[in-house]
Chain A
C-alpha cells in the first residue's frame, strides 16, 4: 500500500513532462528498478493501465532495467 504514492508521483511527473513536451502520447517509459524497492512491477504496470485511461500514458509500455542499487529511476521516455 505504501508504495502507491511513489508510483503516483512517477505517474504525475510523466503527465507533467508530457505536457511540457507538448506531446499527446507517451509510447515507451524506461525505468531502472533496483532490489528491495518494495515496489512490485506488476502493481506499477496495473496502476498505469487503470489510471492512464484517457491520458497521454494510455498506451505507454513500461520497460524495466535491473539495477544493483535500491532505487526506482525514471530514465527516459519516448513520445510522439
Chain B
C-alpha cells in the first residue's frame, strides 16, 4: 500500500510538513486534545512521547501521553469530550525518514506482527461511537523502531518542528 500525497514545500525548514498538516496543528486549547502514542524504548517509535514531553509545560493545553497503551486513555478522552483529537504516532508509510503524513482511519493497520496492542482504529472507533468528535492521525515515518532510546536525527527534526508549530499556534 503506497499512498500518494501531494508534497507541498512550505519553506525550506518545514520541508516535511505539508499544508494540510500545518492546518491540523493549529490547536484550540479550549476544545482540542493532543494524544501522543508510542514506546520510548523503541527509538523512533518514541516520537509521540517525545512531542508530548516538549508540550507538557504548556498551561491549558489538553495533552495525553498514551505511551504504549493507547487503549487505556479511552475513558479519559471521553470525559474531556474534545471537538478535535489529534493522535500523533510513528507510522511506516515508506516515506522519507521524518516525513509526516495524515493517515486516513481506514489505512491504519488492524494488526501488527509484533505487539499485543489493540489497534488504534479500534480505539478511535470506540471514542467516536461515544462522543461527537473529529479524530485525526498524524504519522511520522520512523527510521528505526529497534530497541533503544532516543530519536534519529530526521525524526527528531520533525518532532521539534511540530512542537514549535503547536506552541506558536497557541500564542495567537
A and B touch in the complex (CB under 8 A): yes
Q: Which residues on the A side are within 8 Å of B113 (C-beta)?
A: 2-3, 38
Q: Which residues on the B side are within 8 Å of A3 (C-beta)?
A: 113-114
Chain A's interface: helix, strand, loop or mixed, by majority? loop
Per-residue A-contact encoding for B136-162, CB less than 8 Å = 1, 0 else: 000000000110000000000000000
A35-B113 Cα distance, complex, nearest whole Å: 14
Contact of B145 with A1 in the complex, beta carbons under 8 Å: no
Chain B's interface: helix, strand, loop or mixed, by majority? loop
Q: Which residues on the B side are within 8 Å of A38 (C-beta)?
A: 112-114, 145
| Min distance, Cβ B119 to any Cβ of chain A, angstroms | 15
Q: Which residues on the A side are within 8 Å of B71 (C-beta)?
A: none
Within 8 A of B (CB), among A19-77: 35-36, 38, 40, 70
Q: Which residues on the B side are within 8 Å of A35 (C-beta)?
A: 92
Q: Which residues on the B side are within 8 Å of A40 (C-beta)?
A: 146
Interface residue count on the A side (C-beta < 8 Å): 8
Q: Which residues on the A side are within 8 Å of B146 (C-beta)?
A: 40
Contact of B92 with A1 in the complex, beta carbons under 8 Å: no
| Min distance, Cβ B142 to any Cβ of chain A, angstroms | 8
| Min distance, Cβ A34 to any Cβ of chain B, angstroms | 10
CB closest residue in chain B, given A69: B94
Q: B residues engaging A (CB < 8 A)? A: 92, 94, 112-114, 145-146
Extra pairs beyond A38-B113, A40-B146 (12, CB < 8 Å):
A1-B114, A2-B113, A2-B114, A3-B113, A3-B114, A35-B92, A36-B92, A36-B145, A38-B112, A38-B114, A38-B145, A70-B94
